[in-house]
Amino acid sequence: MVSSNHENAAGSLAFPKRLWGKIVGFALRLKNLGKDDPRRMIHCFKVGIALTFVSLFYYFKPLYDGFGLDAMWAILTVVVVFEFSVGATLGKGLNRMLATLTAGALGIGAHRLATLSGETGEPILIALFVFIIAGIVTFLRFIPQIKARYDYGMMVFILTFCLISVSGYRDEEVIRMGFERLSTIVIGSCAAVFVCTFICPVWIGVDLHNHIATNIEKLGNFLEGFEDGYFKISEDGQPINKSSSLQGYKSVLTSSSKEEIMANLAKWEPCHGKFRFRHPWNEYLKVGSVTRQCAFKIESLNHYLTSEIQSPPEVRSIIQGECTVISSECGKALKELASEVRKMTKSSAAEPHITNSKAAAENLKAVIRSSLSKHCNFLEIIQAGAVASLLFEVVKCTEEIAGAVHKLASLAHFKNAKPRVTPETQELPSQGAVNPVSGIDGAHHVITIDPSQSLRESENSSPPVLDPRMEV
Amino acid sequence: MVSSNHENAAGSLAFPKRLWGKIVGFALRLKNLGKDDPRRMIHCFKVGIALTFVSLFYYFKPLYDGFGLDAMWAILTVVVVFEFSVGATLGKGLNRMLATLTAGALGIGAHRLATLSGETGEPILIALFVFIIAGIVTFLRFIPQIKARYDYGMMVFILTFCLISVSGYRDEEVIRMGFERLSTIVIGSCAAVFVCTFICPVWIGVDLHNHIATNIEKLGNFLEGFEDGYFKISEDGQPINKSSSLQGYKSVLTSSSKEEIMANLAKWEPCHGKFRFRHPWNEYLKVGSVTRQCAFKIESLNHYLTSEIQSPPEVRSIIQGECTVISSECGKALKELASEVRKMTKSSAAEPHITNSKAAAENLKAVIRSSLSKHCNFLEIIQAGAVASLLFEVVKCTEEIAGAVHKLASLAHFKNAKPRVTPETQELPSQGAVNPVSGIDGAHHVITIDPSQSLRESENSSPPVLDPRMEV
């Protein structure tokens, strides 16, 4: 009995404790949410400011007398239109204003037409118009291109048409009503767009731009870390650099719909910073698509880091040298490409790395032909073979990404990088040459790379570099 | 001069022709849009009906006298809330009603509090309340869980709070206003939900269910067609069944966000058909996730159908027998699993196929060990080795999909399949056994499969079959 009382007391204490724990946990989550992207906090302030601003219409009598209760449409518009990014806000605002204008005009026309048919005919005709227009516009919303950019406008179109034509039945001043609705919506939309654009703007185009660069970088990180993950085995037979730090690329696999939404919103944005009005946003989608193709190969490659069936270390060590060169050179090339995108400067810094990786791929084929096939147990080397085969694919994908990035660079008029002509670059060959050298563990190869280039790399991980073919 | 006139005439004729061509093209696209999913046409009718229904409030004087101009909120609500699926409509409707109720109450409270502070203090205090509440709720919208299910409610909350508290400054009957707004919104939401649910409802849960089954099926189709794509070479050296018919799986690669949205909406739906109220929708996401993992492997596999570097046909023919068995058995297993999901019946029809594919994988290892490693040119067999290695992965993935589907089946209380006990099934072993038989082209193996099972397969591609372990 005593112990049961004890338990009850503990239980009654446990509940507030749990509740407190939950509250603290929730507060911590909110804090992290703000920390992850401080622009979120600013966005909240901006919404507050825009709403407080439009509610002035109620407080100041001269403004209120002009619009009356219709001023609430301005508040409603700000709440509905105000989005996180400029592109989304501008898109919604323009959609809303344009749809209100056209649907309002059509609604007034429908109302006039209906009044001609007498008192009994009027509601029937209006109901018919509403049914037909709502049906047609709802169907148009299914067209993918319209859904992507004008869905909100279509909804507002139905809304306004119904409100104007139906309200007209009771309220004779249908034109005044339409005009007031339009003007309050224009005021609300403009307030939202103004605050969103001129107070710490969040450009979704910049976000997309950085998102694409980050994705390419993530693949580069994986490839640079691949050697440690696959070849460097710790004493307990497990790879040293297992998963976690290499798993960043996973988000690339499923980012396609996010990119599409971002590109559609970015198209609404005016010119800002280095982005012109008709910036080639669709090219970003193409770069994103080839990046994802490469991520699929890397997903397969990643599997061999964690696979239970592994080629034994002695087999792996045969291909280690060339595989390391391929993955690290591809990784470097991808990081150079990411930096080219991020800095918006035309650069061919990735080319030597791609050439090196291709040369290493040829060498790897030679190694496989000469050394690996002497190995007696085929089943043991098949995994190593699959890794090699995937690395060949990665080289091809890297070239494709380079092609897509260069096309983006030329269409988006990226600036030329500042030329840095040093005496060495004129004397030495501009690209690394691969010389086979027989090593101890199988057949290792040494890459002799342009010294000016290795110097550059030690100075800065992704600097603007000289492209001999580039017009200065 | 004459020719230039001629050109002008042709040009002036060409424009209406092009325009006509565009109009015809647009009409054809609309027709296909309706043909692809006839529910779209019905949806348009439903929207028309719901809107015409709520606009009755304007036409009938007794109804109009009750609500007055506030009746437009009902129309607005129908337009905004009415979505294609029941889940989306119900989610939006509930969000809207609940948010209006709570925000309305809070708005009235804020208004009362503000009036206590005198005439000059009132607008300042209301502006402060609006700023704070709008800021906090806007921030809450960033929380992923809230964004997924309650984003719309949060928006309506800000909206209603602002409207009620700010309008209260001019309109003294703030309680009446709040009540009318609430009641018209309830009427509009209920009208939308009613029409959406009771006239040809579109259940997003059913769509998700079928989507998951279709995705598994698509992978099955690829695997069943893989033999023709990779091994059967036409006279010009190209695979017979190249790409197009096998590319259905591509959509699986990027369907994750779509599935998440569908699952979130499906959670709003009441019980319908075989789906209970708390149907385990999250399990579908898990099945979708392992399906996508398998699709990534298949994406790599698909690459070898179109790759320029190919193992020569004589090398491929060595592994053809076992690879064909693995891919077709995995394909059959996946199709059985898809049918298990689609028909919502517990079934272990996939198990024998998985067992067969695992046995074939073991045999393939033996083939590789014995025959393939004798082949002199390792570079030529490395592609074949990579294909084999990927097929091993596919077998593993198929097992994982089977596990996820069985878990879904048990959590969603799928019915047991009708037992079909035939004399053969009791006499013969229930699962196929694989016996190695040396063939002409390397080492082919013959699978002896339970005759009753092959009989079943010839009768019906995906029948409910007997599970010996199943409780009858």
* Residue A199 touches chain B, beta carbons under 8 Å: no
Are B138 and A47 an interchain contact pair (Cβ–Cβ within 8 Å)?
Answer: yes
- SS3 sequence of chain A: CHHHHHHHHHHHHHHHHHHHHHHHHHHHHHHHHHHHCCHHHHHHHHHHHHHHHHCHHHHCHHHHHHHHHHHHHHHHHHHHHCCCCHHHHHHHHHHHHHHHHHHHHHHHHHHHHHHCCHHHHHHHHHHHHHHHHHHHHHHHCCCHHHHHHHHHHHHHHHHHHHHHHHHCCCCCCHHHHHHHHHHHHHHHHHHHHHHHHHCCCCCHHHHHHHHHHHHHHHHHHHHHHHHHHHCCECCCCCECCCCHHHHHHHHHHCCHHHHHHHHHHHCCCCCECCECCCCCHHHHHHHHHHHHHHHHHHHHHHHHHHCCCCCCHHHHHHHHHHHHHHHHHHHHHHHHHHHHHHHCEECCCHHHHHHHHHHHHHHHHHHHHHCHHHCCCHHHHHHHHHHHHHHHHHHHHHHHHHHHHHHHHHHCCCEECCCCCCHHHHHCCCCCEEEECCCCCCCCEEEECCHHHHHHHHHCCCCCCCCCCCCC
How close A344 comes to chain B (CA, Å)? Answer: 28
Are A385 and B382 an interchain contact pair (Cβ–Cβ within 8 Å)?
Answer: yes
* Residue B369 touches chain A, beta carbons under 8 Å: yes
How close B174 comes to chain A (CA, Å)? Answer: 13
What's the confidence (pLDDT) of residue B443? 35
Check: CB of residue A398 under 8 Å from CB of residue A298: no
Which of A79, A256, A378 comes nearest B373 by C-beta?
A: A378
The per-residue b/e assignment along B103-142, b for 16 or more CB within 10 angstroms, e otherwise, is bbebbbebbeebbeeeeeebbebbbebbbebbbebbbbbb
* Residue A80 touches chain B, beta carbons under 8 Å: yes
What's the confidence (pLDDT) of residue B153? 95
SS3 label, residue B275: strand
Report the chain A residue with the minimal C-alpha distance to residue B132.
A48
Which of B33, B123, B292 comes nearest A143 by C-beta?
A: B33
* Residue B61 touches chain A, beta carbons under 8 Å: no
Check: CB of residue B164 under 8 Å from CB of residue B107: yes
* Residue A261 touches chain B, beta carbons under 8 Å: no
pLDDT digits (tens), chain B, 472 positions:
445 555 555 556 678 888 999 999 999 998 998 898 889 999 999 999 999 888 887 777 766 676 666 778 888 999 999 999 999 999 999 999 999 999 999 998 998 888 888 888 888 888 899 999 999 999 999 999 899 999 999 999 999 999 888 877 766 677 888 888 888 899 999 999 999 999 999 999 999 999 999 999 999 999 988 877 777 655 555 555 555 667 888 889 888 889 999 999 999 999 888 888 789 999 999 999 999 999 988 888 887 777 666 667 777 777 888 888 999 999 999 999 999 999 998 888 888 999 999 999 888 888 877 776 565 566 666 777 778 888 888 999 999 999 999 999 999 888 887 655 444 444 333 333 333 333 333 333 333 333 333 333 333 333 333 333 332 2
Which residues of chain B does A130 touch, with a Cβ-Cβ cutoff of 8 Å?
48, 51-52, 55
- Which residues, 6+ apart, have CB-to-CB distance to B176 below 8 Å? none
How close B385 comes to chain A (CA, Å)? Answer: 6
* Residue A135 touches chain B, beta carbons under 8 Å: yes
ipTM of the shown complex: 0.80
Are B79 and A127 an interchain contact pair (Cβ–Cβ within 8 Å)?
Answer: no
Q: How many CB pairs below 8 A link A and B?
A: 211
How close B430 comes to chain A (CA, Å)? Answer: 30
Residue type, A194: F
Are B130 and A59 an interchain contact pair (Cβ–Cβ within 8 Å)?
Answer: no
Which residues of chain B does A369 touch, with a Cβ-Cβ cutoff of 8 Å?
377-379
Which residue positions in chain A have pLDDT lower than 50? 1-2, 421-472
Report the chain B residue with the minimal C-alpha distance to residue A46.
B135
* Residue B373 touches chain A, beta carbons under 8 Å: yes
What's the confidence (pLDDT) of residue B175? 81
* Residue B55 touches chain A, beta carbons under 8 Å: yes
* Residue B195 touches chain A, beta carbons under 8 Å: no
Report the chain B residue with the minimal C-alpha distance to residue A36.
B142
Are A389 and B386 an interchain contact pair (Cβ–Cβ within 8 Å)?
Answer: yes
* Residue A369 touches chain B, beta carbons under 8 Å: yes
What's the confidence (pLDDT) of residue A379? 64
Which phi and psi angles does B445 have, rounded to 5°? -130, 145
Check: CB of residue A89 under 8 Å from CB of residue A196: yes
Residue to test with chain A: of B305, B379, B383, most A Cβ within 10 A: B379
* Residue A389 touches chain B, beta carbons under 8 Å: yes
* Residue B42 touches chain A, beta carbons under 8 Å: no
Are B368 and A382 an interchain contact pair (Cβ–Cβ within 8 Å)?
Answer: yes
- Of the CA atoms within 13 Å of residue A62, those in its CB half-sphere come to 0
DSSP strand pairing (B433-436 vs B445-448): antiparallel
